[in-house]
Amino acid sequence: MKVVTTLEELRQIRQTLPNPLGFVPTMGFLHEGHLSLVRAAKAACQSVAVSIFVNPTQFGPSEDLAAYPRDLQRDLALLKAEGVDLVWAPTPEVMYPEGYQTWVEVTEVTQPLEGGMRPGHFKGVATVVAKLFNAVQPQAAFFGQKDAQQAVVIQRMVKDLNMPIELHICPIMREADGLAMSSRNTYLSPIERQAALVLSRSLKAGKSAYEAGERNAEKLKQAVLSVLEAEPLARVQYVSCADPNSLQELSGAFEQVLISMAVYVGKTRLIDNIVLK
């Protein structure tokens, strides 16, 4: 496994890797969710590249950029064990050299949900992913459904900018008790970790209501909210029942739905979602 930080090294090694190359962009502090993407890339491609970069431009001024967990040595050991061919771990200076002024903005699908709560977040995400794609030149890229809106935004960007990259959106990996895996779970105290189960529990309640025939968006949202509100350590930022493609909020009758949420447990902001169809 080659580990590189500069663009020059990256380009040199990239040329030696057989196509199709599968690419998994990450912010590091890897868990089984990330590794599931690596395994999907291994299964579908001749070679696999992973990037590790905590992208400053997708964090808001009051967000957790400085505190974001990092452990490069551990990440590299995990990736080596998966048989990854190339790891690119650039510095912020490599990605955003002095004088940097070029941005990718996806307009409509970045407005609701996470985009509404985290202004500028998806401008940072789309820009860094476009830059990573340009540098790594993969034929396929692997993202998690955990970040449902991110997946929609990247799909839109790839289509709109004619990027010759096949996108794979992989299922959410969960702990045995249901908590969606996230690097940010490490912020949770033991009591908060227990309380955080309310997110997946509320989605399960939504799924049960849907399976019992509920097709009214407001009523479905209420079924989810009532579970969340019963947990004293949880503070709901938003719960949404949206169209899975346009991400527009649903009202009244619907057929398919993306239920998504952001919930604070203590100071930690957690997201989770489910698509019902």
* 200 near ligand AMP, judged by CB under 6 A: no
Exactly one of 45, 109, 181, 228 binds ligand AMP (CB under 6 A); which one? 181
Report the half-sphere exposure of 45 (CA within 13 A, side-chain side).
30
* 90 near ligand AMP, judged by CB under 6 A: no
Question: Partners of 52 in the beta sheet?
Answer: 26
Question: Partners of 260 in the beta sheet?
Answer: 240, 273
Exactly one of 34, 42, 123, 131 binds ligand AMP (CB under 6 A); which one? 34
Write the binding mask 101 to 140 for ligand AMP: x where contact by CB under 6 A, - elsewhere.
----------------------------------------
For 142-160, b where at least 16 C-beta lie within 10 A, e where not — what string? bbbbbbbbbbbbbbbbbee
- Ranges of beta strands (E only) in 107-164 are 140-144
What CA–CA distance (Å, rounded) separates 100 from 57?
12
Please name which of 181, 177, 239 lies closest in space to residue 206, comparing C-alpha atoms.
Answer: 239
Nearer to ligand AMP, 8 or 32 (CB): 32
Exactly one of 144, 205, 265, 273 binds ligand AMP (CB under 6 A); which one? 144
Amino acid at 222: Q
Least CB distance from residue 210 to ligand AMP, whole Å? Answer: 21
User: Beta-carbon neighbour count of residue 106 at 10 Å?
Assistant: 20
* 153 near ligand AMP, judged by CB under 6 A: no
Distances, alpha carbon 84 to alpha carbons 21, 38, 76, in Å: 11, 8, 9
Nearer to ligand AMP, 156 or 215 (CB): 156
Residues 1-30 that bind ligand AMP (CB under 6 A): 26-27
Q: Which of 31, 34, 121, 168 is catalytic?
A: 34
**Lateral strand order in the sheet of 86-88:** 2-4, 86-88, 47-52, 21-26, 140-144, 166-170
* 33 near ligand AMP, judged by CB under 6 A: yes
Least CB distance from residue 138 to ligand AMP, whole Å? Answer: 14
* 37 near ligand AMP, judged by CB under 6 A: yes
Is 31 annotated in the active site? no
* 88 near ligand AMP, judged by CB under 6 A: no
Residues that bind ligand AMP (CB under 6 A): 26-27, 33-34, 36-37, 143-144, 146-147, 170, 172-173, 180-183
Active site residues: 34
